[in-house]
Amino acid sequence: MQVENFKLFVDLVETKSFSKAAELNGITQAAVSQMVRAMERHFNALLLDRSRKQFQLSGEGMRVYDAAKKVLHQYEKLLSELLEMKKVVSGTIRVSTIYSIGLYELPPYLKKFQHDYPSVNVRVQYRRSNLVYEDILHNSADFGLVAFPAKVRQIEMIPFRNDQLVLITPPGHPLARGRDVGVTALGGQKFIGLEPDSPTRKAIDRIFRENKVEMETVMNFDNVETVKRAVEIDAGISIVPLVAVLQEVKQGSLVVVQFKGRKFPRPLAILHRKGRVLMPVMKKFIETLRTDLSMGPKSSHG
C-alpha cells in the first residue's frame, strides 16, 4: 500500500467528493474510484457504505481513515526532518486569499520571499472569504489569508497585520471638506457596500448598528476595486481598508476622511490546517509574512 493511496483516501474522506479528491491529486474521478476498490481488495473490507445516497464511511473505512492520517503525518514529519537536515527550501506553496489582501497587502511579501527563495513556486488563488476556510480544511491550499478571522476548530490562526477601515468619498463631496467626521454624520448618506456576507461588511454594519446610524445602501459589490470605482463617480460613499485606497488618494480621485476620535482596526490573519506538518518552505513563508518589511522580524507575540 503506497503513501499516495493513503493521501488520496484521506482527501476523499475529508472532501466527501470524488471529483474534489481527483482535482486535488491531479487524476480522474475514475482513478479515485479504482483506488478505493483496490484498497478494499487489499484490506478485504468495504470502506464506503454504498447503501446510502450521501457519502458515508463504513466502520472499517473509518478505521483505515484514522490510520491513514497517522501514516501521512509520520511520513510528512520524516520528509520535513530530512529537508531540514539538508537545509533545503524548495517546492510549491499554495495560497488562498481574499482579493483585498492578495492585491494590496501580499505583493511586497511575495517579492521578498521570491527574492530570498527563488526556487520556490508560490501559487496565489483569489477567493471569497468562506471559500478560503474551505480550501484550508480540504487541503486545497497550504495557507489562507483573511480579514476578521473566525475561530475554526481545525484551523490554526496566526496574526498577520492590522489594517484600518476608513471612510472614502469623491473629492467634491460635502464630507470631504472636513478633516474628520463623527460616525453619526453618515446617517442618510448613500452607501456603496461590499456584499453583506463578507466579514469586512459585517464589521462595517456593526459600526453602524452600535452608533445607531441608518445608511441607504445603493449598491453592493464583491470586491473593493468596484466599490472604489463607484465612489469615484459619486454614486455614494463607502468604508474600505485604508491600504486599498492609497493609490487613489495619491492621484486625487478619492479622499480619505478620518473618523472623529475613533479608529476601526481590520485584523488580518494567516490560516493553516491545525496539526499538519509544516515543511521548511512553509515555515520560511510564515516567517516572511511575519516580518515587518521596514523593521525586520516580528516577535512571536506581535
Is 197 domain-assigned?
yes
**Do 169 and 259 belong to one domain?**
yes
49 within some domain: yes
Task: Read off the pLDDT band of 300 (50, 70, 90).
Answer: very low
Q: Are residues 138 and 285 in the same domain?
A: yes
Task: Cell numbers for 253, please give them.
Answer: 480621485
Cell of residue 109, nine digits: 511579501
Query: Residue type for 206, please?
Result: R
**Binning pLDDT at 50, 70 and 90, where does residue 294 land?**
low
How does residue 1 score in pLDDT terms, banded at 50, 70 and 90? low
Does 25 share its domain with 106?
Answer: no
Q: How far apart are CA 208 and CA 228, in angstroms?
A: 20
Q: How many domains does the chain have?
A: 3
The pTM (predicted TM-score) of the whole model is 0.76
Angle at which helices 59-86 and 3-15 cross, to 10°: 120
Q: What is the mean pLDDT of the chain?
A: 89
pLDDT tens-digit map of 247-270: 999 999 999 998 988 899 999 999
Residues 107 and 195 in one domain: no
Domain membership of residue 302 (yes or no) is no
pLDDT one-digit tens code per residue, 73-85: 788 778 777 777 7
Q: Is residue 50 domain-shared with residue 188, that is, in the same domain?
A: no
Q: What's CA 122's distance to the chain center, in Å?
A: 15
- Measured distance CA(84)–CA(219) in Å, rounded: 51
Report how many helices (DSSP H) and strands (DSSP E) the chain contains, helices first.
11, 12
pLDDT level of residue 208 (50, 70, 90 thresholds): very high
Query: 95 and 80 in one domain?
Result: no
Span 159-171, pLDDT tens digits:
999 999 999 999 9
Q: What is the mean pLDDT of residues 241-248?
A: 94
One-character DSSP codes across 114-150? HHH-TTEEEEEEE--HHHHHHHHHTTS-SEEEEESPP
The CA-atom distances, in angstroms, between 239 and each of 12, 204, 242 are: 41, 7, 9
Are 195 and 107 members of one domain? no
> What band does 90 get if pLDDT is binned at 50, 70 and 90?
confident
CATH code for position 240: 3.40.190.10
- In this structure, are 114 and 153 located in the same domain? yes
Kindly state whether residues 243 and 191 are assigned to the same domain: yes
Query: What's the average model confidence in pLDDT over 17-26?
Result: 87
- Domain assignment present for 57: yes
Interacting residues of 185 by C-beta distance below 8 A, sequence separation 6+: 175
Predicted pLDDT of residue 15: 86
Domain span holding position 123 = 89-161+267-297
Identify the pLDDT of residue 296: 46
Q: Is it the case that residue 102 has pLDDT exceeding 80?
A: yes
Given 63, 85, 107, which residue is the final one in a domain? Answer: 85
Same domain, 249 and 109: no
171 and 239 share one domain: yes
Tell me, yes or no, whether 206 and 79 share the same domain.
Answer: no
For residues 46-71, average pLDDT:
86
